[in-house]
Amino acid sequence: MSTHTYHGTFLDPETMTASEGWLVTEDGSITALESKQPASAGEATRLSGTVVPGLIDSHVHLGFSGEGDPVGTLLKETQNQVVLRALRNLGDHLSAGVTTVRDLGGPYNLSVDLHRAVEAGLLTAPRIVPSGHNITMTGGHGHAFGREADGPDEVRKAARAEIKAGARVIKFMATGGVLTPGVAAGAEAMTEAEMRAGVEEAHKAGLMTATHAQGLAGVKNALRAGIDTIEHGAFDHFDDEAFGLFADPDRPRWLVPTLAAPTGILAHADELPAWMIEKTRPIGVLHLRNVGEAYRAGVRIAAGTDAGTPFNPHGGLPDELALMHGAGMPLDDVFRSVSLEAAGAVGLAGLIGTFRAGAAADLVALDGDPLSDVQAWARPLAVVSRGVRVS
């Protein structure tokens, strides 16, 4: 049995209060957060700054490089090269204080195998919630590294195959996307009936679901199909019907905005293909406005970067949090988005993103107070993963 105690100023995302405390861990989990040093806890390790739960990035692509043409690079490389880069990307996340990532698509069942290696203790890396291969229509967004399926029966079978292969979240493509040439980014793709069949299989297996959805029609199709998280939501204003679907009383739904993805592309427009810029430019200010409107309408928002897309590096979650704040989210809700809400969105509510007893002992000490300075997220002083200080 491995026990350890950490002493510092802990900022609790459930109460939004900071206080001195002693956090006791046992075998990688939190035993208690005490206001006085427990007599039986032994010597405590002091953590400077403000200590928060380990950060959660709800949308990454570990196999993507973050270069100008990440999909093209991936398709030209060997499987071993992709794996080696993914390992480096995991290290970049951990150094930034990210102790859990949800990988939403890539080749070779890479994220599932990395997830298994991390859980077996073979890698010191963030916890991974893997989707395996995304499910898309024939020729749809992400088809180069996804699983193509058409019609409810094929989609149902595809979801079952991903579950069998070890996926812990099933991802669908409700619309086209920016990085797939010849596909309109906001256009409807998979139908409501197709996604509903896949969602049913995932939910029967106790798994969460996610969908790439940029246009409003695709967002609504996905929500009506029972999808748990909407990724991007970049085109078109959300309307009252969409807000009503997000507010489903029977099952929580989340928006994962990934504001960093179009921001990276538009900031490097002179270095990228014209077709990519043409598809991204309409997003711009509208994406920020959508996030602000969704927040004010009461939509649950979880932080996620889409890391690995053009000029959107792994470990860049602090930039995403600053963009969310710029879109109109107060700093306390930015904090919730990267802790409590993100934990729910990735299917691990109560197990990460909190100081509750029984949760993972994942911590990051920040140089500053994230409730008064959004840039504090970019200044990690120490990172603890599963009870062990790693950075």
Q: What is the pLDDT of residues 8-33, one digit of tens each?
A: 999 999 999 999 999 999 999 999 99
Angle formed at CA 196 by CA 195 and CA 197, multiple of 5 degrees: 90
Q: Residue 127: beta bridge partners?
A: 100
Q: Which residues fall within 8 angstroms of residue 268, CB to CB, at 6 or more apart?
A: 68, 310, 311
- Helix/strand/coil for 89: helix
Average pLDDT over residues 150-163: 98
Rg of the Cα trace of the chain?
20
Q: Please give the pLDDT value at position 43.
A: 79
Average pLDDT over residues 327-335: 97
Contact 334, 374 (CB under 8 A): yes
pLDDT band at 75 (very low <50, low <70, confident <90, very high): confident
- pLDDT, tens digit, 9 for 90 and up, residues 231-266: 999 888 899 999 999 998 889 999 999 999 999 999
User: Is 90 exceeded by the pLDDT of residue 285?
Assistant: no
DSSP class of 137: -
Average pLDDT, the chain: 95
Q: Please give the pLDDT value at position 136.
A: 98
- pLDDT, tens digit, 9 for 90 and up, residues 78-119: 999 999 999 999 999 999 999 999 999 999 999 999 999 999
**To which residue do tokens 């009461």 refer?**
298
Q: Please give the pLDDT value at position 39.
A: 78
pLDDT band at 38 (very low <50, low <70, confident <90, very high): confident
Average pLDDT over residues 364-376: 98
Alpha helices (runs of H) in 96-211, residue ranges in sequence order? 110-119, 151-165, 192-204
User: Is 90 exceeded by the pLDDT of residue 1?
Assistant: no
- Answer whether 0.95 is exceeded by the pTM: yes
Contact 24, 32 (CB under 8 A): yes
CA-CA distance, 288 to 327, in Å (whole number)? 5
Q: Please give the pLDDT value at position 41.
A: 62
- pLDDT, tens digit, 9 for 90 and up, residues 349-365: 999 999 999 999 999 99
Q: Beta strands 44-53 and 363-366: pairing type?
A: antiparallel
Q: Please give the pLDDT value at position 267.
A: 94
CA-CA distance, 260 to 234, in Å (whole number)? 12
User: Is 90 exceeded by the pLDDT of residue 71?
Assistant: no
Average pLDDT over residues 147-169: 98
User: Is 90 exceeded by the pLDDT of residue 150?
Assistant: yes
pLDDT band at 184 (very low <50, low <70, confident <90, very high): confident
- Helix/strand/coil for 291: helix
| Nearest residue to 226 (alpha-carbon basis) of 257, 190, 193 | 193
